[in-house]
Amino acid sequence: MRPLNLEEPILTHYKWYQIAQWPVFMMPFRPFFLLASIWSVIAVCVWVMVLSGDFQWQATLPATLWHAHEMIFAFAGAIAVGFLLTAAQTWTNIPTLSGATLMVLVFIWAATRLIFILYPHLLPLVILGQLAFWLSAIVCLSSMLIGAKSKNNYPFIAVLSALCVFNVLFLLLSAQGNFASARTFSQLAVLGFMLLIGMVGGRVIPFFTTRGLKLDHQVRTPRLDKALRVVSVLGMCGFALSQLFNVALNPGYLIVLGATIHLLRSGLWFNPDIRYVPLLWSLHLGYLLAAIGLLLCGLSFFIAIIRFTDALHLITLGGIGLTILAMIARVSLGHTGRALSAGHTMSVAFMLLACGAVIRALLPHFIGPHLAWFSSAVLWAAAFTLFSLSYFNVLTQKRVDGRRG
């Protein structure tokens, strides 16, 4: 053992600091894309065991709310944070979280997951963990964007802040036993993620399509993009007022209008040649399913046969899930210097997840709710298992071109 050099930083003598230098902690997308994907598989498997009766849920918190929290706030939230903190470095040229600071943020997220599944009755600890995770991410993102005066990206700070508020209120209401209102905040979070997908999708889907197909020009929809933000925020406010405060208004009109804007953008961005590029057709399909799911959510306020919760799952599995899977597959390759080719394995993963979304949202009336839930959960687990196995080395090893990132 070499002698201790007191002139060196004392942190270098701790193993955890050495771990923080691993490639997986070079950029936020690396640990969050990998761990969130693995965790989604574990959480869905737990949910399947609860549905089948093989796992006895002992907590006072309903298993349905735990499932909603872990898939929306834990899984999708971690992906959103990993993506935005990585993208912010590109937008601002300001270094993002990396090394020890990134490892601490990942530890907070992971520790909160373990507490919530092993000790679900310790909701105060879960609240503290989630709040620390969100606030750390928001402060980091804000410091980068505000420091670079990147005003066109300020709305991302607002969206993350809204998701943080929804998450904390979800947990506080759950701790008080007000499960109906807590469920409403999980549904509001889904609408919030639809806004986030709309904002990010408006930038990356046309850009990725242009690059992937080597087109001469990029389709832009600035007026629709601005309208979507306004309508989405108004739709969330209307939904909250009607569900939480029993205000006599129907949010279905605004939700349908928002879905129509999503569908218009999806149609304008479409190019038939995307069918030859898995990283493109999966992204377009995910966005289309999100738009259709949002449309069905809005129509559920007018048509009794359409169930809001089933339509919401077309958004969560098909929209959020498939869009996330397509995005993290593409971003992981691009930011590690690899060729932008998904391969057959990921093509299968994309198709499995799309099938799972359709089964969960549209088939409960025909094959029974339990079988639809079980089948979609298995397909989700299979899709993200394929991603985790295929991209483990991509996310844990250095860039192939030798650059840092």
pLDDT single digits (tens) 7-39: 445 444 456 667 767 889 999 999 999 999 999
Give pLDDT, residue 17: 64
Residue 183's alpha-carbon distances to 196, 213, 399, in angstroms, are 20, 42, 41
pLDDT at 147: 95
Mean pLDDT of 350-355: 97
The answer to whether 228 touches 261, Cβ cutoff 8 Å, is yes
**pLDDT tens-digit readout, 293-328:** 999 999 999 999 999 999 999 999 999 999 999 999
Cα(392)–Cα(389) distance, integer angstroms: 5
CA atoms within 13 A of residue 297's CA, in its CB half-sphere? 29
User: Residue 2 has what DSSP assignment?
Assistant: P
Q: Which residue has the higher pLDDT, 12 or 255?
A: 255
Model confidence at 1: pLDDT above 80: no
Going by C-alpha positions, the residue among 277, 346, 342, 402 that lies closest to residue 37 is 346
Closest CA to 132 of 142, 120, 143, 140: 140
How much is the pLDDT for 132?
98
Closest to 320 (Cα-Cα) out of 288, 290, 365: 290
- % of the chain at pLDDT higher than 70: 95
Check residue 4 and give its pLDDT: 41
Domains of the chain from N-terminus onward: 22-396 (1.20.210.10)
Predicted confidence (pLDDT) per residue in 375-390, tens digit: 999 999 999 999 999 9
At residue 78, the pLDDT reads: 98
Q: What is the mean pLDDT of residues 165-193?
A: 97
Split at pLDDT 50, 70, 90, the class of 41 is: very high
3-state per-residue secondary structure call for 280-312? HHHHHHHHHHHHHHHHHHHHCCCCCCCCHHHHH
Q: Is the pLDDT of residue 2 over 60?
A: no
Q: How deeply is 226 buried, as exposed, middle or buried, from its count of CB atoms within 10 A (0-12, 13-18, 19+)?
A: exposed
Residue 365: which pLDDT band, with cuts at 50, 70 and 90?
confident
Least confident of 118-122, 162-166, 249-253, 280-284: 118-122
**Global pTM value:** 0.93
Backbone CA torsion sign across 275, 281, 287, 292:
positive
- Mean local confidence (pLDDT), 90-104: 94
Q: Are 342 and 208 in contact (CB under 8 A)?
A: no
Q: What is the pLDDT of residue 86?
A: 96
pLDDT(170) > 50: yes
Does the pLDDT at position 353 exceed 70? Answer: yes
Length of the chain: 405
